[in-house]
Amino acid sequence: MSEDKENQEEERSSEKKKHKDDPLSGMTGGLTLILLGVLFLLANMDYISWSGWWQYFLMGLGVILILEAIIRSASPSYRKDITGKLIGGFVLIFIGGSFVIGWSNWWPLILIGVGVGILLSSLRKAKRPE
């Protein structure tokens, strides 16, 4: 019984250390700050309006989340469940883009998104050994 507790504590401490050493978390924060800086610069230079910078921020944040999910899936040492990041990224891109482009132009992208989701799901199932 005490061996099980020791093993569980060792697993928790190694998991905490792995989480603490995760460079992708810092990358996401850094990319978010860079995105904000670029958007504020574009707004100052009148390339985008100050009232609409947040729309581009949502889209950029969605791209950052999807990028992190792709990198996590390719890196075995930092692989986690990426489904939440992918869904969140696509939702943010959809919301931000719907304000930039307009709601009526987005319905074909819903079909594309569902298709990509089905492809990713089938690829993920194909990788699992039975």
Question: pLDDT tens digits, residue range 97-117?
Answer: 888 877 666 677 777 877 887
As a whole number, the mean pLDDT across the chain is 78
How confident is residue 121, by pLDDT bands cut at 50, 70 and 90? Answer: confident
pTM: 0.65
Angle between helices 23-44 and 53-74 (to 10 degrees): 160
Q: Could you read off the pLDDT of 53-82 as tens digits, one per residue?
A: 999 999 999 999 988 888 888 777 766 777
Report the pLDDT value the prediction gives residue 29, as an integer from 0 to 100: 86
Is 72 in contact with 43 (CB distance < 8 Å)? no
Is 78 in contact with 22 (CB distance < 8 Å)? yes
More confident: 81 or 21 = 81
More confident: 46 or 14 = 46
Instruction: Report DSSP state, residue 118.
Output: H
What token pair was written down for 51? 């009232």
Is 31 in contact with 71 (CB distance < 8 Å)? no
Kind and range of the H or E run holding 29: helix 23-44
Kind and range of the H or E run holding 9: helix 2-20
What token pair was written down for 21? 């050493």
